[in-house]
Chain A
Amino acid sequence: MALSRGLPQSKEALLKSYTTRLKDDVKSMLENFEEIVKLAKGENDTQLSKMTQSEQDTYEMHVRAANIVRAGESLMKLVSDIKQYLILNDFPSVNEAITQNSKLFRTKQAECDQKLKSLRDDMAADLYDLEEEYYTSIYK
């Protein structure tokens, strides 16, 4: 907890909200699944007629199944938010990515300049021969 004291309130609240969302969604999925399985038992001692009770149970199962799917989608959104937060605020990873990219670019630049230098040396050697030929010819 001492580490989290350095965070501004908004970031701390945001991370806490992620934890809350996670717990709520997992709890919702578990509870709704459990209730559907309980409804599938089909208890006979009810005050309503069988038809009405089965209609009610069907409707309740539909609603609970929709709740499970909603909780799953909410978890997917949470993962997406965590990915976004990670890209923006995970400094060790961002620093490493920047260092790697810088290294790659500088390596490519060094290769490029090395090739240009060797090309320059080759052309200078050829130019020497060409100049010698030209200045000893009748066209100078």
Chain B
Amino acid sequence: MTAPMERIQVLDSIEKDIITCLQSAGQALIELSKEKSSLKQAESQTHQFLKTLGHVESKLTEQINYLTQVSTGQPHEGSGYASQKVLQMAWHRLEHVRSRVNELERIKNKHLQGRALLRPQPQLTQSQQNGTQPVGSATGAGTTG
């Protein structure tokens, strides 16, 4: 746990302790209000109420003392903007590259589709079938070039 979050976590636990304190006080009084009240139970609830309240007071006093020592009264002028901007520019570079690669992919697919359409031609001459590439594909390559 990082130091900045630790203090906030401690304050969260103090809040829970305050609620526990109120609950113990309520339970102690409920116990006293019963017809057959258990003295032991009432005493333990009261003891818990007093203990939790003391705990809350000591922890809060500690926090206030720490704040008295570290606060200066001046506003904090630090900022993480520079590194944030650097990361944002890196992200922009990445997006630019991604868009260019997607464009290449699109051109490649278009070219392949064009070749697939031109390939099954029933009137190819014997010389074209022998080894040289068909004329249709040259025009297909020309349009994509």
**A residues bordering B, Cβ < 8 Å?**
3-4, 6-8, 10-11, 15, 18-19, 22, 26, 29-30, 33, 36-37, 40, 65, 68-69, 72, 75-76, 78-79, 82-83, 85-98, 100-103, 105-106, 108-109, 112-113, 115-116, 119, 139
Contact = CB atoms under 8 A, between A and B. Distances in A.
Interface in B22-68: 22, 25, 29, 32-33, 46, 49-50, 53, 56-57, 60-61, 63-64, 66-68
17 contacts: A11-B73, A26-B53, A29-B21, A29-B25, A29-B53, A40-B33, A68-B25, A69-B22, A79-B60, A82-B67, A86-B63, A92-B70, A96-B4, A98-B78, A102-B83, A105-B83, A139-B141
B contact face: mostly helix, strand, loop, or mixed: helix
A23 B23 CA distance: 20
A22 B90 contact: no
Nearest to A8: B73
Given A72-B21, A108-B90, A86 B11 contact: yes
Contact of A93 (B7, B63, B93, B138): B7
Contact of B83 (A87, A91, A106, A139): A106
B11 A98 contact: no
B69 A3 contact: yes
A116 B94 contact: yes
A33 B3 CA distance: 37
Contacts, number: 150
Interface residues of B, number: 54
